[in-house]
Structure 1
Amino acid sequence: MSLRKRLARSPALIGTMGGLAHGYLGHCQRRTRWERRGDADLRAALAEGPVLLILRHSRLMLGPFHWPRDTADLSSLHDTSPIARIAGDTHRRSGLTPVAMSPRLSNLAMSRLVMDRLRAGASIGITADGPLGPAGRVNDPPIDWARSIGRPVFFYAYSVERQARAKSWDRLLLPRPGGRGAVVFRRWEGTVPRRLDTQAREAARASLQAGLDAATAEADAMLGLPPGP
């Protein structure tokens, strides 16, 4: 039986893999010298309520360690694939509250799940291009959630000097211990109109894309690295 099938059938194996991943990522986090930008703006927004956090799928590995957990909870939305469930396990181990978005759920049921988390005071985290790409491109869900929940939108990105890249569709950034790291939180100044026709949707997508690209490039530039995926 393949590892993927074993993971799909075994919650215990998911937990084991999640524990190993969390331990390694925590080690990388502690051994990296971090420079951070945008924390004050994010904390000021969180003092008034939840936010929507948008990031690239390739930059999600250390997100749970960079979120200000002393200020607010974060519910990351993920699918139910084995890899996504392992990621959700690492988020739980970091003190956050991930939410699995099963394809069996209706749009109404998924909306209720998210709204319940917002009413509980949790912010919502979503990858712009997940779970299957195209890599780095803003898909419809971030636009729809920004419109539906009506909360401030922040972009998040991190970068590290010591890294590898997975041979995956998104070229997932894999941190290594040591060296310097950069974290960026940036508020989106745009809005998504309540009445969202095709033209308005594409305008919102372009604005979100520009903001996400800028935040990601800024994290790389802080370390003197060229923009990466």
Structure 2
Amino acid sequence: MRERLLIWLVPRLIRLIIAFLSLTIRWQRLGGCYDPAAPERHIFAFWHARILMMGVALRGCRGYTLISEHRDGGYIADTLQLQGFRTIRGSSTRGGARALLQMVRTYQKERCDFGITPDGPKGPRERVQLGTIQLAKKTGLPIRPVIWATKRQWRITSSWDHFYIPKPFTAGVIVYGEAVSVAADADDHEALLSVQQAMDATQQAADSFFKQTGSVEQVR
């Protein structure tokens, strides 16, 4: 009974927190803005630590987000669905091959966008894993980094990803990086390097936006 209550309650509490933060943070956007009506489709890549506010960055998206099959992933998946997003369950550590096949088949049917955490679900933190490259190769979709940052935030240093929680009533920025195309016959190592560089550049642009006056409070 307690487990069922948590499964129902936790995603709704997270959704309320996200809604509150979305309303109180003053967002700016760099590098364009996500337009769900645009004909181009992408694999939107964002670090696991910054998944909390991706609903703001990709508002209106009717694509699919890849979420791990772990219990915490279930809370995230349910929260995203409450926000109107669709999910596919799987990761590099559990159900990865099946999830990749499902995403490829889904793209063939729907020609949709995807959201993915290229370092999830267990890291290494902020390092692109091969699954993102494989998805790009099999779908032909370019990988576009999306990273948000805020002027004031908490970082949970006890979590493997140093999970990022923005403080309310602060300023935020969403940076849409340059898309990286990966040919079907591309060398995996070179493709990983290109995507990693794009992710790092986008993160640097986001994190440096408030560097002069930003504040970080670490939570253990």
**TM-score category, normalised to shorter length:** 0.7 to 0.9
Per the alignment, residue 110 of structure 1 pairs with 99
Q: Which runs of 5+ in 1 are unaligned?
A: 1-5
Residue by residue, what CA displacement relative to the aligned partner does 1:71-104 show, whole Å, maximum 9, x if unpaired?
x413110111111111111111111101112777
CA RMSD in angstroms comes to 2.4
Question: C-alpha separation between the residues in 1 aligned to 2:86 and 2:42?
Answer: 15
CA displacement at 1:58 relative to structure 2: 1.3
1:169-208 aligned at under 5 Å gives the runs: 169-188=160-179, 190-196=180-186, 200-208=187-195
Distance 2:31 2:4 in 1: 37
Where does structure 2 lack aligned partners over 5 or more consecutive residues?
none
How many residues align? The count is 211
Structure 1 residues 169 and 74 mapped into 2: Cα distance closer, same or farther (>3 Å)? Answer: same
Q: 2:4, 2:40 → 1: CA distance?
A: 34
Distance 1:11 1:149 in 2: 37
Tell me the TM-score normalised to structure 1 length. 0.83
Q: What are the equivalent positions in structure 2 for 1:76-115 lying under 5 Å apart?
A: 76-101=65-90, 105=95, 107=97, 109-115=98-104
The answer to whether the Cα contact below 8 Å between 2:150 and 2:173 also exists between their aligned partners in 1 is: yes
Q: TM-score when scaled to structure 2?
A: 0.86
Q: What is the CA deviation profile of residues 41-65 of structure 1, one whole-angstrom value per residue up to 9, with x for unaligned ones?
A: x439x62242111111111110022
| TM-superposed deviation, 1:37 | 1.4
Structure 1 contact 154–187 (Cα < 8 Å) conserved: yes
Q: Which residue of 2 aligns with 1:3?
A: none
The corresponding residue for 1:152 is 142
Q: Secondary structure at the match of 1:39?
A: coil
**Bigger proportion of residues as helix:** 1
Instruction: Note the C-alpha offset of 1:194.
Output: 1.9
Q: Tell me, yes or no, if structure 1 residue 25 matches structure 2 residue 47.
A: no
1:136–1:192 CA distance, 2 compared to 1 (3 A): same
The sequence identity of aligned pairs, in percent, is: 23
Shift of 1:141: 0.7
Report Cα offsets for 1:183-206 as digits up to 9, x if no partner: 011232x4323224xxx2111111
